Structure 1
Amino acid sequence: MSVSEDQRLNLLQQASILDTPPTQEFDAIVRLACSMFDMPMALVSFVDGHRQWFKAEQGLFLKETPREHSFCSHIVETKSPLVVKNADKDSRFSGNTFVTERSVRFYAGVPLSEGETCYGSFCVLDTKNRRFGDRDLEQLRSLASVVVGLIREHRQQSLLREQQRELELKQARFEQTERSAKVGGFEMDLETGTIIWSDQIYRTVGLPVGKRMTSEEVIGCYAPEERESVRRRIRDVLDGSAAGIDREYRIMTPEGEERWVRVVSDIERLSGKPSRLFGIVQDVSEKVRYEQRLLQAANADPLTGLANRAAYNAHMERLTAAAAPSIGLLLIDVDRLKQVNDILGHATGDLLLKGVASRLDERLGKRGKVFRLGGDEFSVILDAPASVRRMGSLARHLIEYIGRPLEVGGSMIHPAITVGGAISEGEMDAATLSQNADFALYHAKETRRGSYVHYEPSLRSRIARRIQIVREVESALSEHRMVPHYQPVVGCADGQVWAFEALVRMQRSDGSIVSAAQFHEAFTDPSVAHHITTRMLEQVAADIRSWIDRGLEFGRVSLNISASDFMRGDLETRIVAAFASRGIPLDKLVLEVTETVFLQGLEDTVATTLQRLRKKGLTVALDDFGTGYASLTHLRSLPVDIIKVDKSFIDTMLVDESSLAIVELVLNLARKLDMKVTAEGVESHRQAMCLLEMGCTTLQGYLFGKPMGREHVGEYLCMPKTGVTENADRPQEELRRLLG
């Protein structure tokens, strides 16, 4: 049944919302809409008889405008969403105030409706033309449903405030004799114990009107946890030690329905002796339930339904304040959520979080309580006194259970979590316990992602050291003190320099040089690692340009790339920008990638990026081969041109048959796959001879040269080829001797 305009306006007035002051909830919705849709303007608009009035607005700084020619009026009339992509060309709205005075060109709005009644619209606006698809419109509808819920709550609050005002007015009018009125009133004769109730109280507690009540029957109306307090109150009234009260109680009807009442009572005294207890009873069930909904909303995560960070903080404070013995805390991080969001969309990411939350809650059971702290982080507070062994067992069980395949949004995902844990000691406060667990989680993510780490005091010093190193590296980056040093790679066929590997070094303010091994912790910071690579690309490209201009035959330069360089998706752009701007072909660059990149869940992204770069002439090397988890698998799936055998095998191959067998296996495999092999860490003539006999392609190590500054590369390449020395200052001659 449709609603006429007069009926609609009457219902709008009954909502008691027009011309009310701004509220945080409505203001937050319009700010959220602007953020979600990247729009400068948003409105919660109510359409009155001759105007549209804004309960909340962002970017317009108006309270109301004429209804004529308005977008929102059109929505009220049609009760349908409206999207206008070019308002100044639309004859319906070209005279709109927003179009003529605020240069609005784009509008998207949805109705604010309850049943058949449309109060107005929720909309976003822009001064330029925009695209707005079905998904955007659905999200706008979702926000509008929240606004409608706020309208209902506003109306309900208005009704509750009105009822409260009426009650307070009655309380002010009635003196002691008036408070014994039958409607909602009660009295108890303290001499005889006789109790009189009004009809309303009987209805409130769910008893037949007129039923004779005793004090014990009255007490029986209250919820079990309230009864002792009421019984004590009656005793205090009878012995003269009680005073009037004003408080709320939970009651239970005979049918088991839960209600809340507000009891306002006083004591009449005759000759200084209490003679009568009297007062009023107000059913405040609706108000209490509303407050409970607000409390639940404030303490519950809207996505997963779990308790949120506010509830977590309150729970921790209660436990530590009560000196609970050995509180166990697990902090849980969902791995690779960003990649899921980026590749499969945020909707799939949300489903993943809901799936993880459900599994955590299901598996934990009654052993504790799960909270979602925000983003990809959850926490578990254990109920029973905790022990290191039990926490470790539980954490590993959760890791295994959550890691089972999960179908979300039509995709099969293998969730993974990393867990850090801590146990309270002595009078440890909530903040310290949370920080300890956070240290453990942080360490787990940096060193053992996908596993569990329990807090130890030494973690603080390790993390403090890492933070200090990161700060030093950041300072060195800002002061241009991160520089490349170059180590030669020589070809086995002719002894000539085949390439140089660019190794990052940090130059301290005193001029001393620090190797990467001394600040390797900094590379675990994605931002720092990204900036180091960018700086190295720029400096390597500049050095290559200089060597080309000098006519030096240096072959090519290899550069190590970390997982962080692939995460942002801009590696190809950075490489091309650094080399193309200097006119350097990409066949002068070798990218070295280790297996740690694939442990971040980036194998497809890495493979795609490297394949595109190889088509532009770049060469790819798999570094530290043999030390990872699945090197052969990666050879099959990755676009690799060179295998670099890890130094650990070269060090031991002359004394350990298994190391020698592995080196031989890699060389045979490379020949069949048509790949080159570089042996790393060659430091002796015997190692070099052995590798040459096995057919190794290129050699790298201190035997042929240590990493050197850019200024020494030219000297190295131009060095006379006479004589042989143990420290291999003349590697080409030395290699010819070995070959000859």
Structure 2
Amino acid sequence: MIGKPLSKPRQSVEQYIRSIGRHYLNAVIVMTLLITATYLTMLVALDRHSLQQKISFLTSNQFIRFQQLANQTRALMRASADPSLPEYIIIPMRDDIHRAIGDIRAISAELHALDRSIGGNLLERLSPRDELTVQLRRELNARLEDFLGRATRIAEASAEDRRQRYSFWGPIDFAVAADSLLMRQFADLIGHANDRSDVSIDNAKLISTGLLALIAATVILASIFLFGPLLKKLRNEHRQTMAFEKRLTLLAHTDALTGLNNRSSFNFALGNLFGELERNGAGFSMLLVDLDRFKNINDGLGHPAGDAVLRHVARALQRTLRASDVIARLGGDEFAVLLPGIRDAAALESIAERAIEAIAADIPFDGRSLQVSASIGGAIVPDHAADEAGLMRIVDLALYTAKSGRGTTVIFDEAALARRLEENQLSLALVLAADRNEFVVHYQPKVDLTTGAHLGFEALVRWQHPDLGLLPPGRFLPLMEGTQLIRGMTRAVISAVGRDLKAWKTAGFAPGPVSINLPEVLLVGQEGYEFFAGAVRENGLEWRDFAVEITEDVFLNRSADRILATVARFHQHGVSISLDDFGTGFASLVHLRDFPFDELKIDRSFVDGIGKDARSEQIIRAMIHLAQSLGKRCVAEGIETEGQRRFLTDAGCDVGQGYHFARPEPAALAGKRLPQRAAAIDRHADGASAASRRRLALR
């Protein structure tokens, strides 16, 4: 009797334990199913997120390659403007364009494959179809393929076709067509891809929260241990992706060196301003800033110095302009500024002048001070232009006019356009000038300032233009800077001087040495030396019949050692070396000590100040004393009055030239002034003795 009641509780406990076991097993099964469902959901969400991130990354990469292709294509079109550019330079540029086109199309194919992959994702099937992204992708692909077709046609065009069709306005038109609309579509598509990625994260969070809410405390703890690290990794990945996209966008719109807007950002801002003009008639102005002789600093002192100058210019523009103005570095040493609301030409010119003044401030670099000047061209919208391409052409015309004076500002006008067209025609004619023997030489005599005896000539080039007549060097030499044309012109001058020297000496005259200015490009290698060697050999002359004039800028050239070797080679042959335009460049006492020159030429800007500026007179006396201390001759150029001659003679200057003695003349007229050889030798000896006595007395 007692056993029965005792057996029931024991059975109840066993049943309870078994029930608990069954519930526990069921709970484990449910928890396992819920955990498995949650885990699978996260995998699906991660897969979708990963695909979206790949699409976003590839779209961003495609945008970068598109920008590179646009720059490469513009570079090819600009290069086509120079007919003397060798083909081995053009071919790699064309190959780079084809390679970029292939990369863009390969990325498009990969994006298409990713679109198909993401379509099979479960969450993507549950979400409404993103018709806007599909439409954006279809429009972008169509316009991008049209752009690639244009780039392909440019790359595959013949050199002559590119020169005729693209060399002048092509790069600007191409830039406007390429950058504005396509860039906005790329930005929209990247933004939509990022939005879809955020949706994936939100869906994953929502489903996971709903499933985890059904699990008991044990399930929550298990979920924390199982999925906590996974969620943390997902959040970190999302933050890193967002930071990467933000940095990518910043890099795509910012110049890395100066921190200013780059060309793409500038084009976008320019498009927005034209949009404002269409909507409410709000006009604006644009300035184009180009540094003067920046290449001399960059090549002479190296890229770190050039970078320091560019950063200084960026800071100067930021200090000068308003916070609302858009400042951009377009490339190289070219900057652009957009000024909303500025419609007055006088106000625009005043702003540009302040910018030039700020840029001209000293730049500390490596224990020394650098100086740079800038030229600025400006235009007003809609007064001067009604669209982006027209504005770029107009501002470029104004800048080109300003560059002729350096350190100046030119706001566009019709006269600037006329001058630009004339300069373009001269540039084209210069290509054939040397081959047509259109360069002629005029001679200005050098005389002993004490005796008036003829000592030699300086050869000055002129251009006998077939239509415009005889042009002075100021009309065409600036157009030859940075081109190969300077080589042909110098060769023609040396050949002409050699022939004239031979004729004079055959006639029994004593012309003395003829000075020829030799540019840096012909001093770096042996080419300039070979020109003179050919003239000596072909005309039966002596090396001392020539003199070489160089400017102080050679001291800043990276190849100064090679230049020094070439000059020393001239010196060994007895060729007189003259340091031209002394006092206007960068020569230091170390340069003067180590450089094998024979005479210093005082620049005409100092001579012009005689009787007007006491500082110029003091500088001249110091130059003459320096030359005498170094045992060198001193030559003053630009002497136009008897008072200037007397001052220079009293100061101890040996040789002079200028209008006071004779203007530059053709060989036929200059030869009439020449003395016979014997008399010239006697006079030269007397003059040399007098100069020596003066130097000894001053010492």
Q: Conserved in 1, the CA contact under 8 Å of 2:523 and 2:567?
A: no
- Please give the alpha-carbon distance, in whole angstroms, between the structure 2 residues aligned to 1:648 and 1:359: 30
Q: Which amino acid aligns with 1:540?
A: V
From 116, 126, 129, the counterpart of 1:161: 116
From 397, 405, 417, the counterpart of 1:439: 397
From 501, 518, 529, the counterpart of 1:576: 529
Q: Conserved in 2, the CA contact under 8 Å of 1:392 and 1:454?
A: no
Q: 1:331–1:205: structure 2 CA closer, same or farther, 3 Å change rule?
A: farther
Q: Conserved in 2, the CA contact under 8 Å of 1:446 and 1:524?
A: no
Q: Secondary structure at the match of 1:486?
A: strand
Partner of 1:467: 424
Shift of 1:646: 5.4
Q: Return the TM-score normalized by structure 1.
A: 0.51
Shift of 1:530: 4.9
Partner of 1:178: none
- Please give the alpha-carbon distance, in whole angstroms, between the structure 2 residues aligned to 1:669 and 1:534: 34
Q: Conserved in 1, the CA contact under 8 Å of 2:525 and 2:562?
A: no
Q: Does 1:482 align with 2:439?
A: yes
Q: Conserved in 2, the CA contact under 8 Å of 1:335 and 1:418?
A: yes
Partner of 2:137: none
Partner of 2:263: 309
Q: Conserved in 1, the CA contact under 8 Å of 2:269 and 2:326?
A: no
Query: 1:280-299 residue pairs with structure 2 within 5 A?
Result: none
Partner of 1:253: none
Partner of 2:382: 426
- Please give the alpha-carbon distance, in whole angstroms, between the structure 2 residues aligned to 1:657 and 1:285: 69
Q: Which amino acid aligns with 2:289?
A: I
Query: 1:670-709 residue pairs with structure 2 within 5 A?
Result: 670-680=627-637, 695-701=652-658, 704-709=661-666
Q: Secondary structure at the match of 2:338?
A: strand
- Please give the alpha-carbon distance, in whole angstroms, between the structure 2 residues aligned to 1:363 and 1:685: 47
Q: Conserved in 2, the CA contact under 8 Å of 1:326 and 1:425?
A: yes
Partner of 2:460: 503
- Please give the alpha-carbon distance, in whole angstroms, between the structure 1 residues aligned to 2:304 and 2:416: 36
Shift of 1:535: 2.5
Q: Conserved in 1, the CA contact under 8 Å of 2:359 and 2:374?
A: no
Deviations 1:671-691 (A, max 9, x none): 344332334455677876776
Shift of 1:489: 1.9
Q: 1:210–1:392: structure 2 CA closer, same or farther, 3 Å change rule?
A: same
Partner of 2:203: 204
Q: Which amino acid aligns with 1:204?
A: N
Q: Secondary structure at the match of 2:437?
A: coil
From 536, 560, 568, the counterpart of 2:493: 536
Partner of 1:320: 274
Q: 1:649–1:414: structure 2 CA closer, same or farther, 3 Å change rule?
A: closer
Deviations 1:216-272 (A, max 9, x none): xxxxxxxxxxxxxxxxxxxxxxxxxxxxxxxxxxxxxxxxxxx9xxxxxxxxxxxxx
> Greater share of helix residues, 1 or 2?
2
Q: Which amino acid aligns with 2:578?
A: A
Q: Conserved in 2, the CA contact under 8 Å of 1:590 and 1:618?
A: yes
Shift of 1:343: 5.7
From 432, 442, 448, the counterpart of 1:491: 448
Shift of 1:447: 2.1
Q: Secondary structure at the match of 2:282?
A: coil
Q: Conserved in 1, the CA contact under 8 Å of 2:508 and 2:677?
A: no
Partner of 1:76: none
Q: Conserved in 2, the CA contact under 8 Å of 1:332 and 1:417?
A: no
Q: Does 1:448 align with 2:402?
A: no
- Please give the alpha-carbon distance, in whole angstroms, between the structure 1 residues aligned to 2:360 and 2:106: 40
Shift of 1:717: 3.1
Q: Secondary structure at the match of 1:717?
A: coil
Query: 1:660-739 residue pairs with structure 2 within 5 A?
Result: 667-668=624-625, 670-680=627-637, 695-701=652-658, 704-711=661-668, 716-717=673-674
Q: Conserved in 2, the CA contact under 8 Å of 1:682 and 1:688?
A: yes
Partner of 2:22: none
Shift of 1:577: 0.5
Query: 1:153-302 residue pairs with structure 2 within 5 A?
Result: 158-164=113-119, 203-204=202-203
- Please give the alpha-carbon distance, in whole angstroms, between the structure 1 residues aligned to 2:247 and 2:109: 14
Partner of 2:232: none
Q: Conserved in 1, the CA contact under 8 Å of 2:550 and 2:579?
A: yes
Q: Does 1:619 align with 2:579?
A: no
- Please give the alpha-carbon distance, in whole angstroms, between the structure 2 residues aligned to 1:680 and 1:438: 36
Shift of 1:502: 0.7
Q: Which amino acid aligns with 2:533?
A: A
Q: 1:405–1:658: structure 2 CA closer, same or farther, 3 Å change rule?
A: closer
Q: Conserved in 1, the CA contact under 8 Å of 2:639 and 2:658?
A: yes
Q: 1:431–1:712: structure 2 CA closer, same or farther, 3 Å change rule?
A: same
Deviations 1:384-427 (A, max 9, x none): 546654774477458737966477xx998848462525242436
- Please give the alpha-carbon distance, in whole angstroms, between the structure 2 residues aligned to 1:354 and 1:157: 42
Q: 1:613–1:316: structure 2 CA closer, same or farther, 3 Å change rule?
A: same
Gaps in structure 2 of 5+ consecutive residues: 1-50, 55-61, 77-87, 130-198, 211-234, 692-699
Deviations 1:656-685 (A, max 9, x none): 988877766655554344332334455677
Shift of 1:588: 3.3
Q: 1:634–1:507: structure 2 CA closer, same or farther, 3 Å change rule?
A: farther
Shift of 1:508: 3.9
Q: Secondary structure at the match of 1:367?
A: coil
Partner of 1:377: 334
Q: Secondary structure at the match of 1:488?
A: strand
Shift of 1:556: 0.6
Q: 1:462–1:629: structure 2 CA closer, same or farther, 3 Å change rule?
A: farther
Deviations 1:589-612 (A, max 9, x none): 3333457x48xx937867973675
Partner of 1:590: 547
Q: Does 1:331 align with 2:331?
A: no
Q: Secondary structure at the match of 2:434?
A: helix
Gaps in structure 1 of 5+ consecutive residues: 1-13, 17-22, 43-56, 62-142, 175-199, 212-258, 260-283, 723-730
Q: Which amino acid aligns with 2:396?
A: D
Q: Which amino acid aligns with 2:376?
A: G
> Greater share of strand residues, 1 or 2?
1
Q: 1:493–1:392: structure 2 CA closer, same or farther, 3 Å change rule?
A: closer
- Please give the alpha-carbon distance, in whole angstroms, between the structure 2 residues aligned to 1:654 and 1:372: 46
Shift of 1:304: 6.4
Shift of 1:585: 5.4
Q: Secondary structure at the match of 2:433?
A: helix
Shift of 1:358: 7.7
Q: Secondary structure at the match of 1:489?
A: strand
Q: Return the TM-score normalized by structure 2.
A: 0.53
Q: Secondary structure at the match of 1:447?
A: coil
Q: Secondary structure at the match of 2:512?
A: coil
Q: Secondary structure at the match of 1:448?
A: coil
- Please give the alpha-carbon distance, in whole angstroms, between the structure 2 residues aligned to 1:488 and 1:550: 18
- Please give the alpha-carbon distance, in whole angstroms, between the structure 2 residues aligned to 1:210 and 1:152: 37
Q: Which amino acid aligns with 2:329?
A: R
**Higher RCO, 1 vs 2 (CA within 8 Å, ≥6 residues apart):** 2
